[in-house]
Structure formats: C-alpha cells, structure tokens
Amino acid sequence: MSSRSPYEKAQTYSLSNHQVDILYRVTAWFNGYFLELQNQKMSIGTDYEPTLRQIMDKRWEPAVDHEHELLVDRGVFKSKDRGEDTYVAGRRCQWSPTEKCMKIIEHIFAHSDGIYPKWILDEHPRPPTFRDGSELLEHRKGTMAAANVFSQLERCTGIDVYPRVNLPQRPDLRLWSNGNQLARVEVLTAHRNTESWESKFEHWSQPKAGPTIWVFPNRQTMIRFWNHLITHGFVELDGGRFGGDEKNWAPKRVNDRLHRTSEGAGKYNSIDACWTIAGLIEASLVDAFEFLKRSNIILRS
C-alpha cells in the first residue's frame, strides 16, 4: 500500500488540490458510485452526466470553475475547441475524460480506498478505474446502463461485468439466467474501429454462439455498423442496406429487420439486437423485458 496521498502524487503532474478533488469525483462517477442531488440518487448507469457543480456537490466553490478550465486547457478533459467530442449519450459533458486524464487518475488514486468499482473482484487488482482497454466515459456509461437495466429483470439471475474469459473477442457484459448464458452485451463507441466490428460479429454469429446485444452511442453509429457489415459481405439483411438519414432509423426498426432476417433466408445465423445508450438510460423495466422478448433472447410467454 502506497504511503503517498493522492495530493502528493498529483504534484508529479502539477495539479492543485482543487483539481485532485475534481478528478476524484469524476473517478467515483466513472466507477458507478451514486451522487445524491436534491434527495435523488444519480449514477453513470441510471442518469445523464451532471454539471461540474453538481458532480462536485458540497466540494464546489467558485475557484473550482477556474481549476476545471485549466484541466480542459491541459487536455485532461475533452474540448470542443480541439475538435473533440464533448457529448456523452447525446448530452454535453463539461468534464469528459481524455486518455491522458485516465492515466493520471489511475496513478494518483491507485491506492485510495473507497473509490474502486463495487463489481470488481479482489483477485483482479488493477488501477481504480478497472478499464477494458482504453475505455473512456461513454463506453463505461453504455456498459453500466446495460448492467443496470438488465439486472432488474427476474429472468436475468446474474451479470458478469468485463468477464475474464480467455478469448480474443470478450464482450463487455454476459447476462445469465439460472446458470445459462442469456446473452452477451457489447458496447461499440469506437466509430472507426471497423476491423474490431468485423471480428466480433463474425465470431459471435457462429451457430450456437448465443444472442448478442449491441449498444451504440447514437443511431448514426448503429446504422454505420450494420451498413458496413452488409457492404463487406458479413451479413445479408432483409431489405439490404439502411438508406436515407441515419438519424431516422430507430433501434426498434433495425431490430425488426434483424428479426425478420433471422427467421427467413440469407446469410444470417445469429440472434442480434440493438439499443442506444440514451435508450437504456431512459428505459423502464417493461421496456427491457419487451426488448428481450421481441428479440427472442428470452422465451415468449
């Protein structure tokens, strides 16, 4: 256990105490801890990102705004002025961490108790964020939103978060029903990582691979994913490519086409279904149940 405090470690990066406090709150949010705001509990898996003042809660004071701006200028948080995407699940986020930010967090809070994800197992010691590769905020949000929604279903008796399986294609979640794998969940936020798209789809579309739930940051990425697979011959869908404005294709319409194709002829062996991160955040328990039922992931009853 390190004897140096996060404030001492932060001197390596010339961070002020206010900036360390900001990063601590961001880490807690990233790891699924609840923020109580006006007698309501908020978390990354249940709500959109709070403002800087909200996430700081009682630690906020006027000087924090200036310290936050310095973090943005230093590339610790994303900036629209640098052409970076500052939106998470379709909502603007003032403090969306960059890869640089995550590396700082993983160093200065590496031995800080009370900030580790509650779902992590002790036998897998890693930095406090326990990331899957270079996972950033939006990807973590999709994973936690899916875990939150599906864990409430009676049919889902267990969830593995970032399962430690010795396979090159590891999903973000595995949903279980009484010892049997119900489905895997994969969050795709790397918009241009088409090689990974192809590898995962091809592996998981094999016979007996089981259902896959694909979660996207928005409709545009969802449509680009399927159109890419169609164009490169990985799948033949009823109706072919998705045309027109990508924003007009709701997940339900895409899922209907996937379902029709899986029941008919064509190069399609798997059970797949789509959702967006915002859709998961706003979904009710009934929405989640109907989604799994329509997609033939749970038996119709």
pLDDT in tens, 162-185: 888 777 688 999 999 999 999 999
- Specify the pLDDT at position 130: 86
- Structure-model confidence comparison of residues 190 and 175, the more confident one: 175
pLDDT tens-place string over residues 74-91: 999 999 999 999 999 999
Mean pLDDT for the chain?
91
What 3-state class would DSSP assign to 81? helix
Phi, psi of 149 (to 5 degrees): -65, -50
Model pLDDT, residue 183:
95
Give the model's pLDDT for residue 250: 97
The confidence band for 2, taking pLDDT boundaries of 50, 70 and 90, is low
Nearest alpha-carbon partner for 15 in 89, 62, 67, 64: 67
In this structure, are residues 110 and 67 in contact, taking their beta carbons and an 8 Å threshold?
A: no
Percent of the chain exceeding pLDDT 70 equals 95
**Residue 281 in tokens:** 């955040």
Question: What is the reported pTM?
Answer: 0.93
pLDDT 10s digits, 209-265: 899 999 999 999 999 999 999 999 999 998 899 999 999 999 999 999 999 888 875
What are the tokens at 298?
Answer: 């749970």
108: tokens are 């200065």
* 179 three-state secondary structure: coil
As a whole number of angstroms, the distance between CA 78 and CA 258 comes to: 36
CA distance 86 to 190: 15
Q: How many residues does the chain have?
A: 301
In the chain, where are the structural domains located?
6-108, 137-294
Task: State whether residue 223 is helix, strand or coil.
Answer: helix
Reported as a single tens digit per residue, the pLDDT across 111-152 is: 888 888 887 765 556 788 888 888 999 999 999 999 999 999
121-138 core/surface letters (b: 16 or more CB in 10 A; e: else): eeeeeebbbbbeeebbbb
* 60 vs 70: which has the higher pLDDT: 70
